[in-house]
Amino acid sequence: MTLFSGAAAEFWLRWFHTFFGILWIGHLYYFNFSQMAFMGEADAATKSVVFQKLTPRTMFWFRYGALVTFLTGWGMIGHKMGALGIPVTSSWSTIILTGGLLGTLMFLNVWLIIWPNNRVIIENAERTARGEPAIPGVADLAARAAIASRTNTLFSLPMLFFMTAASHLPLTLSPEKSLIPYWCVFGILAGALELNAVKGKMGPLQKLKHVIHFGVVLTLVLYMAMHLLAG
Ligand code: HEM
């Protein structure tokens, strides 16, 4: 049966990748579309219950969803570029690496900023519920996690666009043109936004509407840069 043949191995990898991608990004959108606004209006007791009882559960599926998505994604890239020999400068590689690198920045934001900071926030809620003093600096950690989460929501729009475009959008890049100018534009834009996630301010990312607008603009700018500089 085709479904269980060796040839279907990549299909299964893609299926797992999509399932865990939904698990991860579904939680990201729940945090950004619903939970952040709810927490802004909730009283201290409700917030404490959310941090103690809900956040450990959402963070579990969120971070392991991210891990499996990341591993299966790079597994497919390794298979296609390694075993199947697709060159790194091909149209497919350029498009999938654009989505995959944005996804990788998002994965790093989850494991290096959002989860470690939330772990302290959970511990702080448990301590204060027992009547112990609050952990100093916890508000700053929460603010940094929120900026990283907003940045991931922004990145998710171009990430999903290029992820699905790699095999389904007929965009052929010219083999004669250098890809260096395109990768410079990508590096500057993604790098500046990532730097803001690590060290910068929330600024206009506070409003979900702006995050979505920026995500659409980044998608269009990257698409145009690819088309004009390498197409
Ligand atoms: C974390 C870094 C990621 C990497 C390195 C990566 C890599 C890949 C690769 C190599 C493919 C196969 C594309 C093809 O064969 O043309 C793919 C497909 C796909 N990815 Fe990702 N991905 C990542 C994150 C995500 C995330 C977060 C999602 C969210 C849902 C996602 C959703 C998808 C979907 C739906 C497909 C199927 C597209 C198709 O069949 O054309 N990926 N990804």
Q: Which residue has the least CA distance to atom 7 on ligand 1?
A: 73
Pocket of ligand 1 (CB under 6 A): 14, 17-18, 21-22, 24-25, 69-70, 73-74, 76-77, 96, 100, 103-104, 107, 160, 163-164, 166-168
3 against 201, higher pLDDT: 201
In this model, does residue 85 exceed pLDDT 80? yes
Question: How far, in Å, is the centroid of ligand 1 from the Cα of 20?
Answer: 10
For residues 196 and 148, give the distance between their C-alpha atoms in angstroms, rounded to a whole number.
8
The answer to whether the beta carbons of residues 73 and 20 sit under 8 Å apart is no
Using alpha carbons, select from 192, 197, 203 the residue that is nearest to residue 151: 197
**Could you give the percent of the chain with pLDDT greater than 70?**
99
| Segments forming the whole domain that contains residue 220 | 2-230
- For range 85-95, the mean pLDDT: 96
How far does residue 69's CA lie from ligand 1's centre (Å)?
A: 8
Q: How many domains does the chain have?
A: 1
Distance 154 CA to ligand 1 centre (A): 17
Q: Which of 180, 176, 163 is nearest to 226 (CA)?
A: 180
Q: What is the pLDDT of residue 3?
A: 86
Please check the confidence at residue 1 and state whether its pLDDT lies above 80: no
**What's the CA-to-centroid distance between 79 and ligand 1, angstroms?**
13
